Amino acid sequence: MRALTDEEMKTVLDKLANYMSDLKSLIAPLDDGDRYVFRLNHSRVYYVKLSIANLATSISRDALLSLGTCLGKLTKTGKFRLHITALPVLAQGARHKIWIKENGAQPFLYGSNVVKAHVGRWSEDCPEHQGCVVYSMADIPLGFGVTARSTTEARRLDPTGVVCFRQADCGEYLRDEDTLFAG
Amino acid sequence: MAPTRTIKNKHADGSKSSSSSGGPKRSSKDGVKKPFSGGSKPGGGGSSKSGPKGTKPPPKEQKSKPNFGQDRKKKPRVYTEKELGIPELNMITPVGVTKPKGKKKGKVFVDDRESMSTILAIVQAEKEGQIESKLIKARQMEEIREARKAEAEKKEQERKTKLDETKELMRKKRKRGDENNKKKKDGDDEEGDKIVKEAVLGGTKAGKTKKKSVSFAAED
CA distance B130 to B118: 18
Contacts of residues B15-24 at CB distance under 8 Å and 24 or more positions apart, as own/partner, are B20/B54, B21/B55, B23/B51, B24/B48, B24/B51, B24/B52, B24/B54, B24/B55
pLDDT of A153: 87
Model-wide pTM > 0.80: no
Q: Does the CA dihedral A97-A103-A109-A110 come out positive or negative?
A: negative
Nearest CA in chain A to B115: A6
Q: Domains in chain A, ordered, with CATH?
A: 2-90 (3.10.450.220), 94-174 (2.30.130.10)
- Helix/strand/coil for A30: coil
Question: Would you say the ipTM is above 0.85?
Answer: no
pLDDT of B8: 47
Contact criterion met (CB < 8 Å) for A130 and B107: no
Nearest CA in chain A to B135: A127
Q: Which residues in B164-188 are b (16+ Cβ under 10 Å) and which e?
A: eeeeeeeeeeeeeeeeeeeeeeeee
Contact criterion met (CB < 8 Å) for A127 and B135: yes
pLDDT of A24: 87
pLDDT by residue for chain B (220 residues), tens digit each?
444 444 444 454 444 444 444 444 444 444 444 444 444 444 444 444 444 445 555 555 555 555 555 555 556 677 777 778 777 766 666 666 667 777 777 788 888 888 888 998 999 999 999 999 988 988 898 899 999 999 999 999 999 999 999 999 999 998 888 777 776 666 666 666 666 666 656 555 554 567 788 888 876 5
- Helix/strand/coil for B103: coil
- Helix/strand/coil for A70: strand
Contacts of residues A31-36 at CB distance under 8 Å and 24 or more positions apart, as own/partner, are A35/B113
pLDDT of B14: 45
Considering only CB atoms, which residues of chain A are within 8 Å of chain B?
2-6, 9-10, 13-14, 17-18, 23-24, 26-27, 29, 35, 37, 95, 125, 127-128, 130, 150, 152
Q: Which of A159, A164, A160, A169 is nearest to A148 (CA)?
A: A164
pLDDT of B64: 53
Contact criterion met (CB < 8 Å) for B120 and A37: no
pLDDT at A47 over 70: yes
**For A81-120, what is each residue's pLDDT tens digit?**
999 999 999 999 899 999 999 999 999 999 999 999 999 9
